[in-house]
Homo-oligomer: A and B are copies of this chain.
Amino acid sequence: MDASPGRDDSDDPRPSTQDATGLAPGSLAGIRVIDLTRVISGPFASQMLGDHGAEVIKIETPGEGDVVRRQGNMVNGFSAYFAQFNRNKRSITLNLREPEGRQILNRLLEDADVLVENFRPGVLAKMGLDDDTLRQRFPRLVVGRINGFGSTGPYRDRPAYDFVAQAMSGFMGVNGVEGGEPMRAAPPISDMVASLNLAFGVSAALVRRERTGQGEILETALTNGLVVMLGYLAAEYFATGEVPRRTGNDHPMLYPYGLFEASDGEVAIAPSSETMVRRLLEALGRVDLLEQPRFADNAQRMAHREALREILNEVTRRRSVDDWIEHLNTAGVPCGRVQDLRETFDDPQIIDQRMRLTLDQGEAGQIATTGFPVKMREAPAMIQRPAPQLGEHTDEVLAELGFGADECRALRQRGIV
């Protein structure tokens, strides 16, 4: 049926993390999340909560839904991009421009533990849910939000987008090669980092809520999250006042380090200490280089980097990538293959770690998504349900709120759901 390349973990004899037998429900079981987010940063965050057992109700605009439903490649009419970030959620439609729609949202919040949103600052307030109202009306609710630049400050109302956050945070300025242009990272890392920060912030606030009964309102911004990811470089900037330059694959402070040429490709080699440099040179049969004053310590090697690079490549070119990876790992030197995504998902270690999981998307068939980055022993992340069709669970959730079938039909006719 559909194109699902690469191998799955399905012939792995161990019990799958998707099989709950004998395991506890996820860590966040019993936590109900009302999810107003769309596109990527918010949905990835709420999916992480859902992966770990939270019950997530995604609220979408009737007839439209999350714009991502119409983006990227379609697998039998279902967006693979949407599936990637919306498993483990139910979907209901709700027109929040209508008072009746907002009333239903309020009823949902009464039974909820968490509300997540990634509107521009102020949009939720215009729906009658400003921060003070949220805290008063729902004192046990944890509200988590993602925005571009923060909800205060001169840029609070600017439209946000990952590429802009990468530019403004300083990330692009250090990424790329010397003499080249500032370079974005290929994936939308400011979105993804914001998701991780939100998932952490919401969970930390829930710990406090469990202990004190108090809810919380918290936020994270695309720019702020990326600034913190630059902490290693920021620390050097703060200490020296010198702005870090782009150094491509070379480490700004260590050598040897980087890509080296094998007979059939490149090997990433990263010895992080003097001990490991010695191990590397021993494994290459060139420990004699350390006797030369120009290579005797890291400072000397940095000063004579190009000369040493040439000498080392002469050695590494004699054998294959596979050979070097085997040989250097045995010697205790961190190294690895530079993989494309096919090689990554076919890598036996990545398969062992089940980093590719397949969703059964009903009529759309099977759609593969990435696996779980956090592995728990007793209450592991699981696939409880695939990504939902738009409004697939509207009637079900309305019934849970006490609406009868006739009321649901009437709401639908009036365009409320």
Contacts and interface: CB of A to CB of B under 8 A. Distances in A.
Contacts of A36: none
5 closest A-B pairs by beta carbon, nearest first, are: A153-B352, A203-B203, A167-B268, A80-B239, A161-B334
A197 B196 contact: yes
15 contacts: A73-B235, A75-B239, A159-B276, A163-B251, A165-B336, A173-B344, A175-B175, A181-B249, A199-B204, A204-B374, A217-B377, A218-B376, A227-B355, A231-B370, A234-B341
Contacts of A116: none
A37 to B, nearest CB: 15
B348 A238 contact: no
A271 to B, nearest CB: 8
Interface residues of A, number: 159
A173 B230 contact: no
B217 A378 contact: yes
A118 to B, nearest CB: 13
Interface string A330-353: 001111111111111101111011
Contact of A181 (B44, B207, B259, B342): B259
Interface in A279-303: none
Given A167-B337, A172-B268, 5 more contacts: A154-B348, A154-B352, A163-B268, A181-B259, A234-B370
Interface stretch (A21-29, A309-317, A392-400): A21-29
Interface in A229-251: 229-241, 243-244, 246-249, 251
B200 A207 contact: no
Interface in A163-178: 163-177
Nearest to A246: B186
A196 B228 CA distance: 11
Question: What is the total number of copies of this protein in its complex?
Answer: 2
A205 interface: yes
A382 B266 CA distance: 45
A182 B259 contact: yes
A201 B268 CA distance: 29
Nearest to A379: B208
B238 A183 contact: no
A214 to B, nearest CB: 7
Interface string A124-159: 000000010001000000000000111011110011
A168 B369 CA distance: 18
Interface stretch (A58-66, A81-89, A103-111, A404-412): A81-89
Contacts of A248: 181, 183-184
Interface in A247-284: 247-249, 251, 253, 257-259, 266, 268, 270, 272-273, 276
A162 interface: yes
B205 A235 contact: no
Contacts of A334: 148, 158-161, 163-164
A48 interface: yes
A48 to B, nearest CB: 7
Contacts of A373: 193, 197, 220-221, 224-225, 227-228
A307 interface: no
A27 B207 contact: yes
A18 interface: no
B236 A72 contact: yes
